[in-house]
Homo-oligomer: A and B are copies of this chain.
Amino acid sequence: MVKLVVAYGHPEDPAAFDRHYADTHRPLAQKIPNLRRFEAGKVLGAADGSAAPYHFIAELWFEDLEELQASMQSPEGQAAGADVGTFATGGATLMIAEA
């Protein structure tokens, strides 16, 4: 398995980010074809109590790298990707990792 890790930087308006994520982005992400598992949640802080570099982390698991890439290029993947630009005011780091 491989996963797409989306690490969102701290947004200008965290409450607006959280609302948009729950109401709009999560449903879009969950429509991506061949998504094997999806997890997303707020970063509560760094383990040492300092500020964490990210506000929110989402992970999308796929069978393999080919399937991840095909899924992200599908209309549903493109729609979810385009939506990120509308609410991720703190930026988003997208990484592909072994899982």
Which residues does A use to contact B, with CB under 8 Å? 2-5, 39, 41-48, 52-54, 57, 65, 72, 93-99
If A5-B57, A57-B5 touch, does A43 touch B97 (CB 8 Å cutoff)?
yes
By the criterion CB–CB under 8 Å, are B39 and A96 in contact?
no
Q: Is the interface of A mostly helix, strand, loop or mixed?
A: strand
By the criterion CB–CB under 8 Å, are B98 and A41 in contact?
yes
Contact of A47 among B45, B52, B53, B72 (CB under 8 A): B72
Known contacts A5-B57, A41-B98; 12 further A-B pairs (Cβ under 8 A): A3-B41, A4-B47, A5-B43, A42-B97, A42-B98, A43-B95, A43-B98, A45-B95, A46-B93, A47-B95, A52-B93, A54-B95
By the criterion CB–CB under 8 Å, are A99 and B41 in contact?
yes
Bound state CA distance, A41 and B48, in angstroms?
Answer: 23
Q: How far is the CB of A42 from chain B (nearest CB, A)?
A: 5
| Contact residues in B for A42 (Cβ distance below 8 Å) | 97-98
